[in-house]
Copies of this chain bind each other. A is one copy, B any other.
Amino acid sequence: MRATIKDVAKEAGVSPATVSFILNNKPVSISEATRERVLTAVKKLQYRPNQLAISLVTNTTNTIGVILPDSTNPFFASLSHHMEEKLRSKNMTVIIGNTNGDPVITRKYLQIFSDRRVDGIVLAQLDFEDEEETVKCQELMRNIDIPIIYVDRVIEGCDHYSIAVDQTKIGYLATKYLLSLGHRRIGCASGSIRLKVNANRYHGYTMALHEFGLESDSALLFCDSLSIDCGCKALPCLLGHNVSAIFAFNDMIAYGIYKECKNYNLIIPNDLSVIGVDDIYFSDLLQPPLTTISQPVNEIADEAVKVLLELIANTSKSFSPVKLNPVLKVRGSVKNLSES
């Protein structure tokens, strides 16, 4: 059985309070003699404080709950891994919840994390197919008296702390790049367009088109999910509409397109150009290496942790959502049409 503070106290012949004082370096003067006795008792009994008990009384758990769509996607894996590293140095632990984009699971985790009294929550998706679900989540969050910070797939203009990358800009950058290389019929392989992330990327897409005097064609928008599977399905569909390039709304989708291109015996970028979003570290390994819009994962993670810790410490500065910039990574998956 694990020793308790009482055991230590008894062993050292002092009161539990004294042990607590010493172990927590409280500013009370303790004689060297007793301090030593206590410390040896601690060692002898291999005493370690029960964090549950401490949490109950101090009302802090040193735990951050992180709710992700899918930790199997390297983008989110990197995000949480990076946060964890940052937090570990502060002796904080990370609890992970994967939702698969399901609002019900999202709410479940919000409740669980709240019930466990985590010190803060990082939420990577608050926006769902069904708007009602989003509203339900927001209601739930209002009832949770825990600092929450949004990350990645956030809703713009909502009155909450958030770290986000400019999604419209992502769509704009990707599309403009394709246009500048002579592409005119550009297909989109997107997740649900009801999600703001995707809607915004699509908006950026149309903005770029307009700049080139083009109108967007809804036939060129294929919607499914932000997964490999989506790319597989999108390819034949968009090919049927004679696109010369596909803007995949994330790298996973792009992977699906790569995969399916093999089946159709298509060579990227000769037969089809592809551009992705996220810059997962595998994208560089593909043949050809995937040109993509990179999101600064580490920065997102750093900022999220920073702001969240401030929130927890109640150093709550004025509300200002952080917006980070995406960056175009030119590699080998887009063909220059104007050259040929």
Chain B: minimal CB distance from A42 (Å):
14
Q: Are B48 and A114 in contact (CB under 8 A)?
A: yes
Number of copies: 2
Q: Are A96 and B116 in contact (CB under 8 A)?
A: no
The verdict on A336 contacting chain B, using a C-beta distance below 8 Å, is no
Q: A77-B71, A80-B96, A145-B1 are in contact. Are A48 and B259 (CB under 8 A)?
A: no
A99: nearest chain-B partner, CB-CB: B88
The verdict on A18 contacting chain B, using a C-beta distance below 8 Å, is no
The verdict on A93 contacting chain B, using a C-beta distance below 8 Å, is yes
The verdict on A117 contacting chain B, using a C-beta distance below 8 Å, is yes
Q: Which B residues are CB-close (under 8 A) to A80?
A: 71, 96
Q: Are B287 and A51 in contact (CB under 8 A)?
A: no
Chain B: minimal CB distance from A333 (Å):
12
Q: Are B61 and A72 in contact (CB under 8 A)?
A: no
The verdict on A150 contacting chain B, using a C-beta distance below 8 Å, is no
5 other contacts beyond A50-B56, A84-B97, with CB at 8 A cut-off? A51-B117, A52-B61, A71-B77, A71-B81, A93-B97
- Residues of chain A having any CB pair with chain B under 8 Å: 1-2, 46, 48-53, 55-56, 61, 63, 70-72, 74, 77-78, 80-81, 84-85, 88, 91, 93-98, 105, 108, 111-112, 114-117, 143, 145, 228, 255, 258-259, 281-282, 284-287
